[in-house]
Structure 1
Amino acid sequence: MKNDQTAPFWQLFTMGAVTLAFGIAVVVQPDATLRLLGVLAGAWLLVIGLMRLVGALDRKQGLTQQILDGALGVILIVVGVTCLRDSAQGIIALSVIIGLAWLLSGFAALLVGLLARGRARLALFGLAAASILVGMVFLLWPEPSVQALVLLTGITALVLGTAEMVVALQWRRTDRHLIAH
């Protein structure tokens, strides 16, 4: 009789093995990973730009919104094509996007902190300062920031993949022990 618990073991073990392989690939070839990220950023910006242009043709919007969507669409398409032609530019664009996201998050936390009271206010100010600092690092040193992010992603995948495989093996061992008794 087949054990119904073997499927979860193999699923978890396979996920762990794939995650581990991904981590190894990223750690062994970080430059290739960065180039791929640059190309993906370019494709993403190109698609978003095209969608903005399509949105600009929507006559249900006001003229101002159509002009803004159209202008932003053209800018995003130009940046996207530039990234696709030179993946290093995609890496810088990705870093700028990440940096701006951190900055905006920091400024939002700062604004919420101004409205808060007590310990929450201090925590929000700390969060705002950290977010703004990280955003500035990504904007001032784009390539090293993304390189560090890629390396951390690879290391994290190595750790998580190994942990998933260990948990799967322990689960299988425990499951066999329960079935035997």
Structure 2
Amino acid sequence: MTSDSVPYRQLLAVGAVTLVFGVAVLVQPDATLRLLGILAGAWLIVLGVMRVVSAFRRAGGLTRQVLDGALGVILLVVGATCLRHTTNGVIGLSVFIGLAWVLSGLAEMLLGMMARGRVRLGLSVLAAASIVVGLVFLSWRSLSVEALVLLTGITALILGTAEVVVALQSRRALHGGGGRAASGAA
């Protein structure tokens, strides 16, 4: 597959939404757990809707459509659960956020396998970072509310920025400005 297999518009939108989520969380670092649950739930629902909509695009093949659709439904369910159970505690919220990062990382890994050149490298690094961050959220049981808020905001800013950068690289490769990446060199 070529770099046009990577949906740069979707990745750019996901990165932008993730950046906005990170800023919103960090603007109120002393926010209550309920507010963080609402912000996380809304963020996951927006990402889920974007993935489901992307699943109905014909470009990219059936594998990507199924992947986007399945991930979108999972993100919608997790986001709705976050909104419905905003007061379940730090552990519950960190599990939801951790699952979202791990699933996003797996989706980016699969997209990376379909890409070439710098885009493949960028998606692979982004996938690894998302999975590692997700595993940290899933395994850190003594996380305080303050630490959860700061960790969520900072990782959202870092990973959202990385998604935007990879999306722009993908766009550049798609439009022939990517040099070796556009020609298919790995």
Q: Which has the larger radius of gyration?
A: 1
Q: TM-score normalised to the size of structure 1?
A: 0.42
Q: TM-score normalised to the size of structure 2?
A: 0.41
More helix as a share of residues: 1
